[in-house]
């Protein structure tokens, strides 16, 4: 077989192979690069590869292993990062023309922690421009396609990272989740995605979309791999004032598939949504029934303000985005219009040329939301509703240990069908935005198929309780093989 014809296994499998010496980090990285070369023209998961540096880092990992100085369970493992994370010496494009020519002089904390753990950064992955979107169709460099069906969306905004894992190019990847941007593409592509508790992972070096909602998290084939990556990237960072001081101990080695005593809450509001595909609902119920068989109990809970979540989310996220994206002004870096000859027209032309339609739409929405005379009616009101949503979860978590439901109301839809109708597109975030508004952790994992496409189960946890989410998710994966299914491989 040609190099790169075999999909990469999980981190755990690769680690065992490295430990026994049956494969080297350089061979693993060569395989990943070869698969990217073969497959990525079909999927467009990557915006840039780091071939030379990645191979150097792999060689260094092999040398460490020979010296028995292995840095972490990720030492020598290739990982892809979403192209809104700063990495010194590399472009950070955010899939936007406005950052053309920009090369970051510094590295995001999460990326620096991966490198310090010996992980090999393979390349930058595609996204909706500035992480604004649910399909990765809003990339200035073209959309990412779903490996299960290339006519369908990969989900978004971290579609590139999801597909890089789903296509077996890398075992793990980093994404960012502001309203579902890790969990939703994970569901679309049949992989695991984790959005940690707000503040769990430093945002330093993550190009901000909505600062109070953004959180970096991992993609992987297995829940255990996501846990491994989380342990490396999590923890307090003095460079991010909103990062939490709590340490992250997941005790993965004690997981044994037992979920006895765990109470799973099913919010009634999640299952009476008009847009919920009955097949998706059935897959979720089957998954919950499976966990019940393993010792969990199930009860109905209520999140009464769920119906306001989307509106609240789009008010807060756009308001923050309108301010966060003001720095892209053509003055210091990135694109500057060649047309303008005075300050005002330089700003206007630069931003008109540099930003795509969805980004402009959200900047305008957010500017409006914060305007004098509208602030109270929109932004302040949205913050008040956000508090109510948070209380819904506090209340629900007095009755259960975690909440289960669908990650998205349907399977990945066909590309191009929603781009003209932003509101319908926004509605696909209905199950994911609440976790960002409440700051709680959320995990999406594959729980079956419908129409040949993967279905995602979402588990939501108490703040800082990633441990329960991951333990329950791991227990599910010990009994099922949905996460081991791979999309059929054809060449272009």
**Residue numbers at the binding site for other proteins (CB under 8 A):** 84-86, 92, 94, 99, 102, 104-106, 108, 203-208, 210-212, 238-242, 319-320, 322-323, 325-329, 331-333, 343, 347, 367, 370-372, 375, 379
- Between residues 216 and 287, which has the closer beta carbon with respect to other proteins? 216
Question: Residue 236, class by beta-carbon neighbours within 10 Å (0-12 exposed, 13-18 middle, 19+ buried)?
Answer: middle
- Between residues 163 and 319, which has the closer beta carbon with respect to other proteins? 319
The distance of closest approach from Cβ of residue 248 to other proteins in the complex, given in angstroms and rounded to an integer, is 20
Q: Which residues contact 56 (CB under 8 A, 6 or more apart)?
A: none
The distance of closest approach from Cβ of residue 181 to other proteins in the complex, given in angstroms and rounded to an integer, is 16
**Contact by Cβ (8 Å): 275, 410:** yes
The distance of closest approach from Cβ of residue 100 to other proteins in the complex, given in angstroms and rounded to an integer, is 13
The distance of closest approach from Cβ of residue 54 to other proteins in the complex, given in angstroms and rounded to an integer, is 22
Active site residue 139: no
- Between residues 175 and 406, which has the closer beta carbon with respect to other proteins? 175
Element (H, E) at 49: strand 46-49
Q: Residues 481, 228, 257, CA angle at the centre, nearest 5°?
A: 45
Residue 115: CA atoms inside 13 Å, Cβ hemisphere, count? 17
**Secondary structure (3-state) at 316:** helix
Nearest alpha-carbon partner for 102 in 121, 80, 87, 82: 87
Per DSSP, 233 falls in state H
The distance of closest approach from Cβ of residue 158 to other proteins in the complex, given in angstroms and rounded to an integer, is 16
Nearest alpha-carbon partner for 483 in 452, 459, 449: 449
**Contact by Cβ (8 Å): 186, 406:** no
- Between residues 253 and 376, which has the closer beta carbon with respect to other proteins? 376
Choose, from 24, 135, 157, 428, the residue flagged as catalytic: 157
Residues 371 and 148: their CA atoms lie apart, in Å, by 44
Nearest alpha-carbon partner for 312 in 368, 373, 375, 384: 384
- Between residues 293 and 380, which has the closer beta carbon with respect to other proteins? 380
The distance of closest approach from Cβ of residue 382 to other proteins in the complex, given in angstroms and rounded to an integer, is 11
The distance of closest approach from Cβ of residue 166 to other proteins in the complex, given in angstroms and rounded to an integer, is 26
- Between residues 131 and 165, which has the closer beta carbon with respect to other proteins? 131
Active site residue 161: no
**Contact by Cβ (8 Å): 316, 483:** no
- Between residues 86 and 443, which has the closer beta carbon with respect to other proteins? 86
**Secondary structure (3-state) at 375:** coil
The distance of closest approach from Cβ of residue 25 to other proteins in the complex, given in angstroms and rounded to an integer, is 28
Active site residue 297: no
Long-range own/partner contacts, residues 239-247 (CB < 8 A, 24 or more apart): 239/109, 239/202, 239/204, 240/109, 240/202, 240/203, 240/204, 242/198, 242/199, 242/203, 242/211, 242/212, 243/199, 243/200, 243/201, 243/202, 243/203, 243/204, 244/197, 244/199, 244/200, 244/464, 246/200, 246/464
Q: Residues 56, 229, 476, CA angle at the centre, nearest 5°?
A: 135
- Between residues 320 and 474, which has the closer beta carbon with respect to other proteins? 320
Choose, from 96, 158, 161, 181, the residue flagged as catalytic: 181
DSSP states along 100-168: TT-B-SS--HHHHHHHHTT-EEEEEE--SGGG--SSS---TT---EETTEEEEE--SSSHHHHHHHHTT
The set of catalytic residues is 82, 157, 181
């Amino acid at each position: 077989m040609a190099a790169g014809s075999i999909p990469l296994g999980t981190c755990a499998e690769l680690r065992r192979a490295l430990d026994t010496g049956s494969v080297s980090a350089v061979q693993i990285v060569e395989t990943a690069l070869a698969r990217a070369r073969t497959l990525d023209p079909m999927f467009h998961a990557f915006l840039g590869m780091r071939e030379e540096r990645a191979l150097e880092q792999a060689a260094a990992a092999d040398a460490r292993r020979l010296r028995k100085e292995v840095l972490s369970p990720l030492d020598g493992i290739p990982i892809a990062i979403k192209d809104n994370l700063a990495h010194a010496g590399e472009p950070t494009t955010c899939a936007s023309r406005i950052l053309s020519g920009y090369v970051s002089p510094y590295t995001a904390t999460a990326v620096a922690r991966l490198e310090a753990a010996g992980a090999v950064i393979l390349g930058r992955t595609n996204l909706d421009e500035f992480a604004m979107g649910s399909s990765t169709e809003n990339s200035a460099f073209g959309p990412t396609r779903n490996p299960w069906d290339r006519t369908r969306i990969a989900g978004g905004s971290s579609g590139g990272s999801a597909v890089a894992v789903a296509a077996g190019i890398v075992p793990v990847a980093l994404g960012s989740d502001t309203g579902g941007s890790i969990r939703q593409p994970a569901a679309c592509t049949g992989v695991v995605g984790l959005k940690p508790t707000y503040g769990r992972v430093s945002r330093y070096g993550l190009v901000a979309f909505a600062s109070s909602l953004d959180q970096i998290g991992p993609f992987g084939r297995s829940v255990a791999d996501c846990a491994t990556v989380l342990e490396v990237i999590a923890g307090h960072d003095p460079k991010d004032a909103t990062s939490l001081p709590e340490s992250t101990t997941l005790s993965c080695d004690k997981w044994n598939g037992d979920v006895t005593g765990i109470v799973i809450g099913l919010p009634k509001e999640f299952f009476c949504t008009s847009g919920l595909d009955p097949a998706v609902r059935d897959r979720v119920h089957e998954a919950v029934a499976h966990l019940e068989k393993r010792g969990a109990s199930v009860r109905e809970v209520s999140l009464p303000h769920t119906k306001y979540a989307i509106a609240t989310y789009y008010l807060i996220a756009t308001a923050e985005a309108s301010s966060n994206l003001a720095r892209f002004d053509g003055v210091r870096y990135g694109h500057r219009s060649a047309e303008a000859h005075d300050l005002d027209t330089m700003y206007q032309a630069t931003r008109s040329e540099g930003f795509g339609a969805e980004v402009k739409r959200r900047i305008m929405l957010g500017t409006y939301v914060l305007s004098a005379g509208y602030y109270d009616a929109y932004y302040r009101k949205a913050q008040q509703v956000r508090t109510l949503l948070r209380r819904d979860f506090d209340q629900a978590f007095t009755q259960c240990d975690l909440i289960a439901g669908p990650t998205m109301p349907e399977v990945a839809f066909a590309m191009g069908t929603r781009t003209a109708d932003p509101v319908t597109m926004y509605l696909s975030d209905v199950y994911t935005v609440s976790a960002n508004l409440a700051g709680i952790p959320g995990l999406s994992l594959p729980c079956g198929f419908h129409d040949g496409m993967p279905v995602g189960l979402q588990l939501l946890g108490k703040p800082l309780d990633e441990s329960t989410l991951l333990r329950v998710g791991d227990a599910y994966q010990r009994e099922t093989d949905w996460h081991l299914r791979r999309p059929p491989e054809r060449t272009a």
